[in-house]
Structures are given as C-alpha cells and as structure tokens.
Structure 1
C-alpha cells in the first residue's frame, strides 16, 4: 500500500514512470471502493427508511380503519358522532375534524370518515340539543359568554357557538334560531349595520309611544324605559339639520315630531385682503422662529384680563382645596374659570368643549375631577369630540367609569366626528390614523421583551411611553409620516364633519366658556369655524406646536384673527396658544395728533403699596420668603399694580377700574384724555 506521502514523494523525485503509475492505479482503485461503499450504505439507509415508512403507513391505515369501525359503532349506539374528549376516540376525532377543516386530509379518507357517520363540526345536525346545553350554561352562569375551550357535558359548546355566530353573520342561519340565541343573551349574531337598524327601529317605536302618551317630545336628558331617548332624539335632529338623516328615517320621524329644516353651512373664513402673514418674514425652524412667535404675543401680556393674569399667568390666586401647583396649563384654565365664576357668585353651568378628546385620559379630565370635588356648587357640562372610532369608544368608557362624573351637576355629550372650517365635503371628511394593530404589536413587544425595551414603561405612572401614538390622527396623512414611514401603516375613516359653530349650537346650548382644540396641525381651521361674534367663549386654547413647525404662516394668521375678534392671544405656552376674551369696553380708536400711540408712564418710582407691606410683613410665610430672596416679593407686588395703555393711547388701572373705582389715579388730565 502506497501512502499519499509516498505518492507525492514519487512525483517530486521524478522516479521511474512505472512506479508512479502503479501507485496512482492503487489510489484510484481504493477511491472507487470507498465510493461504492458509501453508495451502498446510503442505499441501505434509504431502503430502511422506506421499509419503516411502509410499515408505519400500514399501521396507520390499520389504526385508521380501526378508529372508523369504533366510530361507526359509537354512532350506532348514541345516534351522533360527538365523541367526548376523554373517550379513546376523542382526540382522534378532534384532530381529524381539524384536518378536514384545514383541507389537509386526503379526499378518500374524508369520504370514509363521513361514511362511518362522522361530521366535521361539533353538534352538527343536533341544533336543538346544543341549544339545550347552552340554556343550561346560561342558567348556571348567568350569562352567555362561553369560555373559548369550554365543554358542556363533554360537548365542545364554545366551538359550536362560534360556528353559529359565523353562520348568522353570513346569513346562513334561520331567523327563528337567531332570535332563540339572542333571547339567551348571545351577541355577535348580527352585523353592525343590522344592529344599528334594529336599535334605531326600537328607539323610534319608543319615541312614538312616548309622544302618543305625553303629547310632547322628551327632554334632552330624559331617560325612558332605561334608554336615553332625549339624547337620541337630539342627535337625530342634528343629523336632520345637517341633511345627513336618511330619507326613510326622516319621513318616519316627521310623522311623529317636527324636524328642523336643513341648514346650509356658513361660508368658510377668508381674509378680506392679503393674509397678515404675507407682510412678515417668518424665520427658519429653530430658536429664532420660537422667539418670533413669542414676540408676536408679548405685547398682550400687559393687557390680559385680571382674572387670567392673576390665576393662570402668574398663578397667584388661591384655588379651592389649596392644591399646590399643577403640571398642565389646561387644568388652570378650567379651575380658574370656576374660581372667577365663584368670586362673582355666578352659579350658571361651566361649559367646556374639547375638540380632539382622544381617549379622555388627559389634563382636561383631571381638571374636571378636581372641579367636581372642590367646585361642586357650579354645574359642569362638557362636550367631547373625537374623530377616530377606537379612541371615541375608549373616551365614552373612561368618562362613564369615572366616579366623580356620576350624579347630578355633571353632563357629558360625546360627539363622533370632525370639526373644521373648509374641509367638509357633503358634511363628510376623511380622518387619517395609524393602523391600531401595528401599535398593539409594538406594545406587546414591549411587554413580552423587556430586555429589548428596558425604558418602555419608565414613566411616573408606569404606563407605556409610546401610548401617545394612539392619539395620532389628522386630516393630512403627511402629518403621520414622521412616525409611520410606510403608507401601508396609515389608514383612514370617513366620518361626519361640521363647523364649531354648529357644534356649539347643537350640543352646548349655543355657548361655551372654554374651547380646547387639538387636531394635529389643523387647529386654525377649527378656530375659524367658531362664530366669535355670537358665541364668545372666554378661553380658546389650541395646539400650536405642529403649526409652528409645519405651517407657521397659518399660526401667525390665526393669532391675528383672534386679536381682530376681541381676544388677547398668549403663547406659545408649552405646546399651545391661548386666546383670552377681552371684556373691557371698546374705546374709540382715535389717536391724538402728535401723541404717541403708547405713551410712556411718568418717570416716577412707585411707592410700596400698603397691601404689599402687609402681605410681606415679618412673621408671615411670604415675608420669610421675601427676606430670603432679597425683597423680591415686595417688589413684585408693588410693581404689579401698573398702568396699561389702551388701544386709543389712554391709560387705565386694572386694579381700580375693574372694581368701579376712579380710572388712572394720580394721572394728569392730559394722560387721562383719549
């Protein structure tokens, strides 16, 4: 035997050819024998596997025939093929039925299975028997929500009930059977459209009986036979006024009550001339732009209404309950309005309208909860508008489950729709939002894989950091592409659309104290759709962060719009701008010749006010803080009472005039004159 080493050595030394040739021949012969051995061994393995498969197939066929024979015997004895799971045939029957439903069982075996009396679905052909089992379950448990894997007396009742729901939705179930299941409390047997039609028909029948008995319509908050009939009727009237009510429904309602005539939407707002933003140069995105918008509203800080300046801007007013500092300006908006009403002994309801309520778990709800506890003498009505269906359902659930909102003195109206000035087409609009399944998957990943997302729940309340994604919705899909790059991740719903003025008329009684707007970059359109000459809300807050970065011209214009309608705009405050109604009497817009529009105050140093001295006296908490901070509190209180310039150039003192005192004490006649 020649080794590889000898062979190569032979070649290197160029020995006799016959010696190298003999060595090569021996190597080829040994390689061929090795190859034949490997082929033979592989063939034997394949043959063994084939024989094993044939043996298993024979055993499987024998077992299959044996199970079929036992199934036929069971069917002959019991009259049905629903073998209990604990029976020797139970698991085989369940797997066979699953294979048939998946389409993986050979057609010949399917025929043999049916010939032996087997049926694909549990309780197939035994509807009445299954209904009896379901009745027993309902009587015992008190409901018809059968757990997913539940078996009643060995019968897979949950699987049977799922099958019935599918057949009912596909229109394959007899109406009498649908009725029998619904009487037991089974839900999900009708499509959403059918359920809505059925609900509308029942409400109309209830309304007809009410009007026939009482000869009048039910009140807006009236509940009849446990149903909010008054609210339902109000919504039908709103739809009739918008022209959204179906003709057959309108005809039915008109036979019982008087419906309002269809109102045409007011024309959209347009500037009479050039937009104000066309006369300015807005800086590029960054600190310079932020400073630009701050300077736009800075002059208004000196002329804010006193209640807002003291309570919201400077946070000096003591609120009921002494809560300390809140984290969000929106909370101060609600509570300061209530505090001002309380100081004036005005116990009329506070009306809050929130356009873009999301799921309701926000600062407005937090403020309302606090208000119910500490300002219970003032009733509250809140109108909550949300365009996306998912958030709208959660919104209703959150408010209905909040204990502070139960009982008298609180009323909530929920409106599913969009509010804007010029986006409605036939009173409809498309609202874009991310696919909720994607966000749900992100949430599940954060829960199931904390090692990959260590800071996913690193929040003060332990909630998911990205839950704000559920709040994303916009009239423009481009506003969502910062977080969702793929178009396939964004979808839309087509919903009702109306102006803010119509919203206030229909749901808020034609008035509002506070309007909060958050519609992802199109807040200006909602502001324009308000009838500020008629409704005059005291506060209008709208999100300006998106507009400042994406539509700065629109932000500049809407701030100017508020100013022209008798409001003082302030902002940006965090992510919002606020327009505060200016309740001062309108002065004549006349500027004397040669007199500056905003004259300078007299160059005299103000004397410390007695009130400032009293509040910062030694021994008081403010006095101790004042001493520690080098007299800043006394200086602040002294300089707070300053004189502000009217638009006509004259002076007024808010601390005096607002309470009926002498205007501008100490001013010369020239300074007092317009």
Structure 2
C-alpha cells in the first residue's frame, strides 16, 4: 500500500529547505564568484567598486558582503581560499599593502633586493618610505601574512645588518650567480655602487671578523672567503703633518675633478683613495686651516 508523507513530515521539510534555500544560496555564491573571476581576468585585480554591476549582476555589493561575512568570522575556509586566489583583499589596509607589494616586487626584479633607499620609488609609489615604515618595531603586528608576503619576494627584506650592506651584497650575488662571473674586481659598478671595491673590503681580515654570522654565511654561500693575512693591505702610515697635508691636497684635487670647483663648504668631508687606502678627509676644515697657516 502506498504511503504519502504528511505535509508536516520533517524529512520532507528538510529536503524542501535544502533544495529551495541552501542550494539556492550556494548557486548564488557560485554565480558571484564566477562574475568576480571574469572581472579579475579583465581588469587584472579584484578591487570591485561598490556600485559596479557585472552584466547586470550587483558584483560590488556581493564583494562587500563577502568582506562583511569574512570579517565576522562566518565564511568557510574553502570559500575564503577561492576568493583569495582571485586576488581578494579583505580590508582597505590589505588592499594598499597589495598595491605597494606589487611595486616592491617590480623594484626587486631590477635591483634584486628590498633593502631600498628611503627615497626609492617604483610604479609611482614611494616604496622606500613604505618599507622603512614596515621595518619599525611592531609595524607588522597583527599582520603575519604581510611578513610572509614580503619574505616570499626577498627573504632578507629586513636584515639585522645595514641596508646598504645588503644592497651591495645583492648586487655581488647577482653578478656571481646570474652573470656567471667568477670574480668581481674593484671598479665593477652596479646601480652606481662599486661592488668590486666593497667586496675587497669585506674580505679583509679586520672587516670579516666584524661581520655578523648571517653576513659571513651569505658571503660564504657565494664562495667568498677572507683574504689570507699575508694578502692584507699594508698598515696605514702614521699621520704626520706632511702625510695629512698630502691627503688634503689629494682630496682637493679629487673634489675639483668631481665638481669643477675649489670652493668647499667648511663641514664637507671628501673620501679619497691613496695607495689603495680609503681616507675620509675633512676637506673644508683642511682648507680653512691651510689658509690660516699660509704665512708659515
């Protein structure tokens, strides 16, 4: 004998809810995701304006609703991951981070490091100042995913040593690894840096011993080792008055060749190399003192 379920049968009610409510919600979410995917493929990002409609579908409002659900902790992980694969950002701060990260990535492609000068820009964004701000203590607190993203671009984006050292090291690393060079001699310039001279200085025993473990490890990974003691540069001569005068004259000649002038500000310091040794000469004071003593 056939039996018909009562209109109040809980099984029938559950099926009705599943087919007419739950499945409808899933279908609507899938439709929104499909529209967002089409938008991303066309525009190159998932930052949809609130009022935007994609083929009459209110995609902007749908994206805003996804952010609200995610922020309330009500979004299932599978959906969040699917949205993130499309480039979804969950907050304005995340959005700005992603835009700056794209600029930083472009800078890295050219300079091989994120230890950029504070004034550096890329894609019309001041990434030098941006990265400098992120290196401040607790700047990344609450955003571990930002730290991960930066390390994916450059593991040494925030080293324990000076950024200038890291910039020189990155250039040497690129020359040895990508250009298939076996030696970087003084005078080899990269992005305005004499990386050969820098490398020779790092190999000196006195400098090598002062490097941090992480710095020495990175150099050793490139096959760079300190010079044997017998190859060290001879010690600097004692600073006699004659030696100081000669250094001053050499520094003035270097300054004039570089600037075309012998008018030197009193506080200026000129760096000059004499007999393979680098000297920082207080050129402005030297000239002032020389003029005072010219009678003697």
Structure 1 and Structure 2 fold alike (TM over 0.5): no
Larger Rg over CA atoms? 1
Structure 1 length normalisation: TM-score?
0.16
Structure 2 length normalisation: TM-score?
0.30
